[in-house]
Amino acid sequence: MGQIDHIKKIARYGLENDRESLLKSLNEFIEFFRESKKVNLALQLQSLLKESNRNSGNLTKVGSDHYFNQQNERETNDLFIDKLKSDYRLGNLVIDPEVKNELIYFIKENNSIDLLQKFELPVSNKLLLHGPSGCGKTLASYVIAGELNKTMYVVNLGAIVSSKLGETSKNLTKVFKKAALEDSIIFIDEFDSLGKIRDYNQDHGEMKRVVNTILQLFDYLPQSSIVIAATNQENMIDEALLRRFDVNLEFSLPNKSQIEELIQLTLKKGDFKIPSKTALNKIIRQCETLSYYSIQKTLINAIKRTLFKQLDDKKLEHKINISVWSELIELEKKALKK
């Protein structure tokens, strides 16, 4: 039997969902390659067959319940950028003390579900974080996941939002169903793109349907699951949606005290230090109006450039070059103005 005949048999048994004959034909094809001295091809085919059996236990019949379950699982997984367990804790987060205090209570509530249910008290499990970019909203979600030891799903908005009528609502339903089944956290960044104010003058009602779907999903979210939404434009979110959040926290740019705390936290485990208190105060003043992210980014880049310069000079002092850091801060300010 020639190569073409083997391929025809494999194609026929695959289309007929005849698993037993398909496996037999594949093994015959592998043996054919061995006899033809095409050992590499034989090994590759054998490896693919073993990998398939290891992943699924056996071949899935097209059209079977298991086949459709696998398809649905793949489609749902595509709606997430990441599934993670976080190592971040409250000590990693530098924010306004009042906001941090509210996060502590939110975490405490979700660690005390049994106690609250005993007294028939609801659990706050829908959290909105809003404020400028780079001010700790995403990090706060990681901290909550870490403190609660819960799996967090980071939603892929690009996959959620669809031009097909009703598809966005269906995708959102899949996301919330996944979280409900696993008692996990859903994190939705740029939430305003989903929960925009409903414009009743629009010709189509797709946005209204999406907002209504989110309202329903919020209402039926199990108390053991959590949804965290983040946005830079709270004013763009529908009022009815805003009212559904149990906790609404505003993140702001850091003040002088928080800038210093962030710098000290970033340098805590490193070898590099700031040369003097005078130099630190100069940098803090210069960093006002920048976000936490921008400040930390310029600091880390300043450390790297200081290290390279000191290595070139063959004089390692473990002190940050303040001039370099100052220049990086000014470059960051210019970049943000563009």
- Give the pairing of strands 226-231 and 152-155: unpaired
Query: What mean pLDDT, rounded, does the chain reach?
Result: 87
Contact between 258 and 139 under an 8 Å Cβ cutoff? The reply is no
* pLDDT for the residue numbered 68: 47
Q: Is 319 helix (H, G, I), strand (E, B) or coil?
A: strand
**What's the pLDDT at 161?**
85
Task: Output the six-digit token pair for 331.
Answer: 């470059």
Q: Where are the domains of the chain?
A: 3-59, 77-250, 256-337
Q: Give 116's Cβ-side CA count (13 Å radius).
A: 14
Tokens of 217: 């999903």
* pLDDT value, residue 308: 93
Tell me how far apart the alpha carbons of residues 228 and 254 are, in angstroms, rounded to a whole number: 22
Q: Is the pLDDT of residue 15 over 90?
A: no
Question: What's the pLDDT band for 144 if we cut at 50, 70, 90?
Answer: very high
pLDDT score of 77: 84
Average pLDDT of 16-29?
79
Whole-number pLDDT of residue 66: 47
Residue 38: predicted pLDDT: 66
Question: How many residues does this entry show for the chain?
Answer: 338
The token pair at 90 is 């409250």
Question: Token pair of 20, please?
Answer: 């037993």
Task: Tell me which architecture the domain covering 77-250 has in CATH.
Answer: 3-Layer(aba) Sandwich (3.40)
Provide the pLDDT for residue 67: 45
Counting residues of the chain whose pLDDT is more than 70, the rounded percentage is 87
d(CA 143, CA 138): 9
75 or 227: whose pLDDT is higher? Answer: 227
In tens, the pLDDT along 301-327 reads 999 999 998 888 888 888 999 999 999
**Domain 256-337 -> CATH class:** mainly alpha
Q: What is the pLDDT of residue 58?
A: 53
Residue pair 96/259 in contact by the 8 Å Cβ criterion: no
pLDDT at position 276 over 70: yes
Give the percent of the chain with pLDDT over 90.
Answer: 62
Amino acid in position 102: E
> Is residue 53 predicted with pLDDT exceeding 70?
no
